Amino acid sequence: MMSDAFSPVSSRSGAADTQMKTVVILISGRGSNLLALLEAKLPGRISAVISDRGEAQGLAFAQARGVATAVIDHRRYTSREAFDAALTEEVEAHRADLVVLAGFMRILGDDFVRRFAGRLLNIHPSLLPMFPGLKPHAQALAAGVKIHGCTVHFVTPSLDAGPIVVQAAVPVHGDDDQKSLAARVLVQEHRIYPQAVRWFLEDRLRLSPDGRVVLQGEGPPAQPLIAPASA
């Protein structure tokens, strides 16, 4: 269920609407989606990359591009609430208009999610609402689906259940394993995540009365993907 506090595209202040918006990216590991975002020439400023692990490879990507980095090591905190409080303080220090989860592996508490409601994005490697949670590629293969993909969505307190911004689909091949399917999906993640962030920064996302995200200036629908295709 969508949080009552959720309202997409809410800025920190009215002044933020006329200034370049700032983005804070949260990571835990190698940062391939982070790298896609850093290279996307977004119409905003990536003000910081924050990791819950000091050894996260993505920190080096950010530092090499002159982006500020910080580590809020979850292992130093005795509770999720304490970790979330420290993370909130760090994010707020960078005056984030948008918080982007890019391979961030910690489940955020409800207080954090509600604080950044409408300006907290995540990407999940499945066509939500199918296969939420862990091991979505394994879930897809076990279910025998012919089409799989990825979803960018706003984060709400319910796991992987927030309003959907954009999705991309790929065919599932008969000889796929988790590794090959994940690699095919990852290519699309690198396409649609920067696009979703761009739309947010351009103030093109709105929430309809029935809880769906609407893109202003939406183009014509793409051609349908049929899988498997006959020879």
Task: Give the CATH number of the domain where residue 59 resides.
Answer: 3.40.50.170
> Angle 136-143/178-201 helices, nearest 10 degrees?
120
Beta bridge partner(s), residue 168: 150
Q: Are 87 and 50 within 8 A, CB to CB?
A: yes
Note whether residue 93 is domain-resident: yes
Spatial separation of the C-alpha atoms in residues 9 and 204, rounded to whole Å = 8
Percent of residues, the chain, with pLDDT higher than 90: 87
Say whether pLDDT at 166 is over 90.
Answer: yes
Percent of residues, the chain, with pLDDT higher than 70: 92
Note whether residue 117 is domain-resident: yes
| H or E segment and range at residue 91 | helix 80-93
Question: How does pLDDT run across 83-127, given as a tens digit for each residue?
Answer: 999 999 999 999 999 999 999 999 999 999 999 999 999 999 999
Note whether residue 131 is domain-resident: no
Question: How does pLDDT run across 9-29, given as a tens digit for each residue?
Answer: 655 544 445 589 999 999 999
Q: Per the structure, how many domains does the chain have?
A: 1
Domain containing 50: what range? 14-123+152-164+192-206
Q: Are 128 and 151 within 8 A, CB to CB?
A: yes
Q: In this predicted structure, what is the pLDDT of residue 19?
A: 80
Note whether residue 172 is domain-resident: no
124 catalytically annotated = yes
What tokens does 41 get?
A: 């020439």
Note whether residue 133 is domain-resident: no
Q: In this predicted structure, what is the pLDDT of residue 1?
A: 34
Q: Which of 94, 124, 153, 190 is catalytic?
A: 124
Note whether residue 102 is domain-resident: yes
Spatial separation of the C-alpha atoms in residues 130 and 125, rounded to whole Å = 10
Tokens 């296969």, residue located: 131
- pTM beyond 0.95, yes or no: no
Note whether residue 176 is domain-resident: no
Note whether residue 19 is domain-resident: yes
Q: In this predicted structure, what is the pLDDT of residue 230?
A: 77
